[in-house]
Every structure is written in structure tokens, then in C-alpha cells.
């Protein structure tokens, strides 16, 4: 299975594994899965690090190098990819934002 990892999961995987559950660690260590990160993960991390470097000590550059060292592939994303999201169908069980939150 191909899986695009969320930013906080990537960070915890590299610098705070104690925050991951045992089930999550087992899933992340399963060789049947191919994991990916995107430039958005690096961008988000750098924004948080730049705003609060004393509290958010990992930079986007750090995360980039950690992902590459762990052989996590970068998924290139283009604007066209975001636009095609409108063609996806969503499960009735998919999480939804609370009413009025957007």
C-alpha cells in the first residue's frame, strides 16, 4: 500500500517515537507499505520552526534530510493534483469538519 504521511507523523517518527502508539509503529515498520512525504510537509515544518524555533526545534531542512535518510520518497505535487481532489469520492465514515468550522 502507498501511504502519504502526515507532517506530525513524520516528525514523531524521526524525533519523538514515544508519541506513536505501538500499533502505529508496527504499521510504519511494515515492509508491505511504501511511505511518502510531500514538499508540503517540509513547508509546514519550516513555517512552524521559523515562527517558534525555541519550541519547534526541527526545521524543514532537518525533516527533509531525515526523510531521505529513512528512504521515504518525496511525492511531487502540482497544482493540478489538488484540483483533481474534486473527483474523489469519500466514504460515509470519513472524518468531517464540524458544522460551521470552515
pTM of this structure: 0.75
What's the pLDDT tens digit per position in 25-51?
988 899 999 999 999 999 999 999 999
Cβ atoms 66, 9 nearer than 8 A: no
What would the pLDDT profile of 1-14 be if each residue is shown by its tens digit? 888 999 999 999 99
- At 9 the pLDDT is 93
pLDDT, tens only, 63-93: 999 999 999 999 988 889 888 878 877 777 7
Amino acid at each position: 500500500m502507498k501511504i502519504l504521511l502526515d507532517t506530525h507523523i513524520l516528525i514523531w517518527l524521526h524525533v519523538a517515537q514515544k508519541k506513536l502508539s505501538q500499533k502505529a509503529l508496527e504499521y510504519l515498520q511494515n515492509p508491505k507499505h511504501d511511505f511518502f512525504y510531500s514538499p508540503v510537509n517540509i513547508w509546514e515544518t519550516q513555517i512552524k520552526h521559523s515562527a517558534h524555533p525555541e519550541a519547534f526545534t526541527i526545521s524543514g531542512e532537518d525533516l527533509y534530510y531525515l526523510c531521505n535518510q529513512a528512504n521515504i520518497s518525496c511525492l511531487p505535487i502540482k497544482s493540478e493534483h489538488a484540483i483533481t481532489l474534486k473527483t474523489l469520492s469519500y466514504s460515509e465514515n470519513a472524518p468531517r469538519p464540524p458544522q460551521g468550522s470552515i
